[in-house]
């Protein structure tokens, strides 16, 4: 059994080293492996990282038990397998599972900004661009903004995103139109966005 233990120990370290050095290159291969494992419907109980760690721990425990414990072959293999399985499960529960859950996308499309309110961090000059702060879910984002009507809007003004243009620039209008024009028509707001008559 010692050759098997050494093979698992050295092989596990080699796979880990290869993943560290050329991990980006092998990412597609591991994704394919994940896809194959999902096709087997093993659920979340199996992942390549935990498996490599389990095999490495099996080999290391086997080498140590063979060298120092003086056990018979069957108990030695049983303890080494137990150490490998427990180590793989602990790694999966403590590290892999939380990392998979943190990878859940919190992304959103720029088109989702339409209708959101925000505040200008940088004023929008007439015919120019500024910056608007908009909250999207738990995120606070800074986006390029332009005036929907073409009129200047000062810094700190509460605005609504009327539309998003093809370049991803947010076209905004002030929420309180009385401060910027005598009538909503001068500001250029659609009737549904007028906050005061």
pLDDT digits (tens, 9 = 90+) for 45-89: 557 778 888 899 999 999 999 889 888 889 999 999 999 999 988
Say whether pLDDT at 185 is over 50: no
Helices then strands, counting H and E runs in the chain, come out as: 5, 5
Cα dihedral 145, 146, 148, 149 in deg (nearest 10): 150
How many other β-carbons are positioned within 10 Å of the β-carbon of residue 151?
A: 17
CB contact set of 92 (below 8 Å; sequence gap of 6+): 45, 47, 50
Instruction: Tell me the pLDDT tens digit for each residue of 106-116.
Output: 566 777 888 89
Average pLDDT, the chain: 78
Report the pLDDT averaged over residues 3-8.
89
Q: How far apart are CA 95 and CA 35, in angstroms?
A: 20
Report the pLDDT value the prediction gives residue 26, as an integer from 0 to 100: 61
Report the pLDDT value the prediction gives residue 187, as an integer from 0 to 100: 45
Residue 181: band (very low, low, confident or very high) from pLDDT cuts 50, 70, 90? very low
- At the fourth CATH level, which superfamily is domain 110-193? Nucleic acid-binding proteins (2.40.50.140)
Domain residues of the chain, as ranges? 2-102, 110-193
- The answer to which of 27-36, 48-57, 92-101, 173-182 has the lowest mean pLDDT is 27-36
Report the pLDDT value the prediction gives residue 95, as an integer from 0 to 100: 82
Report the pLDDT value the prediction gives residue 186, as an integer from 0 to 100: 45
Report the pLDDT value the prediction gives residue 141, as an integer from 0 to 100: 87
Report the pLDDT value the prediction gives residue 85, as an integer from 0 to 100: 92
- Candidates 84, 87, 85, 104; CA nearest to 95 is 87
Instruction: Give SS3 for 133.
Output: strand
Residue 184: band (very low, low, confident or very high) from pLDDT cuts 50, 70, 90? very low
Report the pLDDT value the prediction gives residue 18, as an integer from 0 to 100: 78
């Amino acid at each position: 059994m010692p050759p098997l233990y050494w093979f698992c120990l050295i092989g596990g370290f080699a796979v880990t080293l290869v993943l560290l050095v050329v991990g980006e290159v092998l990412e597609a291969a591991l994704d394919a492996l994940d896809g194959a494992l999902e096709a087997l419907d093993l659920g979340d109980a199996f992942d390549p990282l935990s498996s490599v760690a389990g095999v490495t721990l099996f080999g290391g425990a086997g080498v140590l038990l063979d060298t120092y414990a003086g056990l018979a072959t069957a108990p030695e293999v049983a303890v080494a397998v137990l150490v490998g399985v427990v180590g793989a499960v602990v790694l999966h529960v403590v590290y892999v599972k939380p990392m998979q859950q943190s990878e859940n996308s919190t992304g959103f499309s720029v088109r989702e900004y339409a209708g959101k309110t925000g505040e200008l961090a940088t004023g929008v000059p007439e015919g120019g661009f500024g910056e608007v702060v908009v909250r999207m879910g738990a995120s606070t984002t800074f986006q390029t903004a332009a005036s929907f009507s073409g009129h200047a809007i000062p810094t700190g003004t509460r605005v609504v995103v009327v539309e998003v243009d093809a370049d991803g620039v947010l076209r905004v209008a002030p929420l309180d139109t009385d401060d910027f024009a005598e009538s909503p028509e001068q500001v250029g707001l659609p009737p549904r966005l007028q906050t005061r008559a």
